[in-house]
Amino acid sequence: MSVRELVVLGTASQAPTRRRNHNGYLLRWDGEGLLFDPGEGTQRQMLQAGVSANDITRLCLTHFHGDHCLGVPGVVQRLSLDRVAHPVRAHYPASGRHFFERLRHASAFHEIAELCEEPIEREGWIAAGTFGELRARRLDHRVETFGYRLVEPDGRRMVPELLDRFGISGPRVGLLQRNGTLDVDGRTVGLGEVSEPRRGQRAAFIMDTRLCDAVHELADGADLLVIEATFLAEDGSLADEYAHLTAAQAGRVAAECGVRKLVLTHFSQRYPHPERFRDEAAEQFGGEIVLAEDLMRVPVPTRR
């Protein structure tokens, strides 16, 4: 069975706390495992969360501040220690190539796993696979930062009542799906007659940024939006100064973009009561809000 879920490995910005590790998020999407922004301690968090090095197929970094990338050395070496047999692709802003080079070769190890670097030179399409397309947009932070958007192509869903009407069942359903048509008692039945459009699912991952057009484009119609909410509204000027979002801004983005499930994370350690992030986002967004906690699993909403 295919699994689509976010495994939260860490949720702290800048400095970890007793309860929050630095960032780290694994998006399981059928056979793919996209590891976003592994901060310090990600390798151990993976163990706690039941994520193995084998689950990782892509490493996706938004930018090269330490809370988003200091876990790369441990994760990269673990791929080789565990002899991960499939190639792992690494996406990161091309302007930070020298940082990735250092992280990748931070200390001596026997390199066995295949890590293919695919630095992001420009916005737009960056990869395609069975998951659909992975796209990136440049955000507005103090160093070059990219947000990510995963888009599954639209498809079609078979309608049992329509299949019944034509007396199509069993293996003949698969035959019709593969061929697009099926001969039923001398009449050709097309796929469109027994199915309806099925919208592809979308997930967006938006870390450190001020509000900008790219935030909206990445989040547009997302079933799952994982977005930073570093500050509360009372510190809105700090958010702007340090190029971050408030929970209210994240909530407004979710509302304006028709998001289904909003995951808030990357919290500043200055706030002892995280519920306030939910309250401020909920004033803007009426949909489901998840306050990310370390080791939490967040399912991608089921198809409508």
Number of neighbours of residue 89 by Cβ within 10 angstroms: 20
- Residue 13 is a binding residue for Zn ion (CB under 5 A): yes
- Residue 265 is a binding residue for Zn ion (CB under 5 A): no
Strand order of the sheet with strand 146-151?
A: 124-129, 132-138, 146-151, 202-206, 224-228, 261-265, 288-291
How far apart are the C-alpha atoms of 133 and 129, rounded to whole Å? 7
**Catalytic-role residue among 37, 55, 67, 208:** 67
Question: Closer CB to Zn ion, residue 142 or residue 198?
Answer: 142
Identify which range of 64-72, 132-140, 186-194, 287-295 contacts Zn ion by CB under 5 A. Answer: 64-72
Judged by DSSP in three states, 216 sits in: helix
How far apart are the C-alpha atoms of 54 and 43, rounded to whole Å? 12
How far apart are the C-alpha atoms of 157 and 162, rounded to whole Å? 11
Are the CB atoms for 217 and 139 separated by under 8 Å?
Answer: no
Q: How far is the CB of 148 from Zn ion (least distance, A)?
A: 15
- Residue 201 is a binding residue for Zn ion (CB under 5 A): no
Identify which range of 8-16, 41-49, 81-89, 292-300 contacts Zn ion by CB under 5 A. Answer: 8-16
> Which of positions 202-231 make contact with Zn ion (CB under 5 A)?
208
- Residue 280 is a binding residue for Zn ion (CB under 5 A): no
Give the one residue of 67, 152, 280, 294 binding Zn ion; rule: CB under 5 A: 67
Question: Closer CB to Zn ion, residue 13 or residue 265?
Answer: 13
Residue 294 a catalytic site member: no
Instruction: Kindly list the residues in this chain that would bind Zn ion in the complex (CB under 5 A).
Output: 13, 67, 208
